[in-house]
Amino acid sequence: MPLEPLLIVELALLGIGSGFLAGLLGIGGGMVMVPFITIILGQRGVSPDLAVKMAIATSMATIVFTSVSSVRAHHKRGAVRWDIVKRLSPGIVVGSLVGSLGVFALLKGTALAIFFALFVGFSATQMFLDKKPTPTRQMPGTGGQFAAGGVIGFISGLVGAGGGFISVPFMTWCNVAIHNAVATSAALGFPIAVANVVGYVLSGTSVQGLPAGAFGYIWLPALVVIAACSVFTAPLGARAAHSLPVKKLKRVFASVLYLLAAYMLWKGLGG
């Protein structure tokens, strides 16, 4: 599968758009990237089942790069709760590997598409209502945080997202200030992404029918172009967040997510 000019343009636009949205609205680009990478791979002859899996894996791989620039910005402001990162990360690594090495490889792409659609629909509803959980308790002990990290890593690996839509509500529910929760979630994106990427590469090495440029389930051409573009536009989105009506934009974006969720649900049910 040669990297023709049109493909580079498509992937660059996807990277620019997802990076800007990640910075502007504080969401990872996975919910945007997965449907579009699925379409791009499908147009190039990759089977629908494999296209969904590769889209999820490639989306997750881009988070390895985008999370680093995001964490640096949050760390400079002293917003990252590194104590929480240390306690959640071991569970995240275990949960991610169980998901990406085991369950991801066993499930059909159609089932993953349906799960992705339901997850994105739930996330869009959260965003549309701008609902924040009422802080009712403190962060659990080491065992509780290990279990919570396992759930975050496992679900993230199945949908190709950085886990912010699970970890941020969980932390705010546990009385962590919202700006600390967002910053800490960005830091958690790195172990989530690295552990899942290892699983996607190992579980995808023996898969038949992979396109040129595949490294396990990860499609390297898309990873390189999207990551290069999104790293530049994420800071622009973060700056724009201070001057644009973010709450209204979240509702508009939530409506777009419903459409993307509907498309992935159609792909899953149709398959």
pTM of the model: 0.88
Stronger pLDDT, 9 or 164, i.e. the higher one = 9
Element housing 5 (H / E): helix 5-25
pLDDT at 63: 86
pLDDT at 124: 87
pLDDT at 78: 87
pLDDT at 206: 86
Instruction: For residues 230-246, give the mean pLDDT.
Output: 79
Tokens of 127: 């965003």
pLDDT (tens digit, 9 = 90+) per residue, 71-115? 887 788 788 999 999 999 999 999 999 999 889 988 899 999 999
User: Over 80: is that where the pLDDT of 221 sits?
Assistant: yes
Instruction: For residues 176-198, give the mean pLDDT.
Output: 89
| Rg over CA atoms, the chain | 17
At 89, which amino acid appears? Answer: S
Cβ–Cβ contacts within 10 Å for residue 2, how many?
A: 8
User: Over 90: is that where the pLDDT of 168 sits?
Assistant: no
pLDDT at 271: 65
pLDDT at 19: 84
pLDDT at 26: 64
Instruction: For residues 207-225, give the mean pLDDT.
Output: 93
pLDDT at 65: 84
pLDDT at 2: 55
What average pLDDT does the structure give for the chain? 87
Binning pLDDT at 50, 70 and 90, where does residue 28 land? low
pLDDT at 21: 81
Tokens of 204: 């995808």
Q: What are phi and psi of 130, to 5 degrees?
A: 50, 40
At 85, which amino acid appears? Answer: V
Exposure b/e, 24-56, CB count within 10 A at least 16 = b? bbbbbbbbbbbbbbbebbbeeebebbbbbbbbb
User: Over 90: is that where the pLDDT of 186 sits?
Assistant: no
Binning pLDDT at 50, 70 and 90, where does residue 203 land? very high
User: Over 90: is that where the pLDDT of 57 sits?
Assistant: yes
Share of residues in the chain with pLDDT > 90 (%): 46
Task: Dihedral sign for Cα 266, 160, 187, 220, please.
Answer: negative
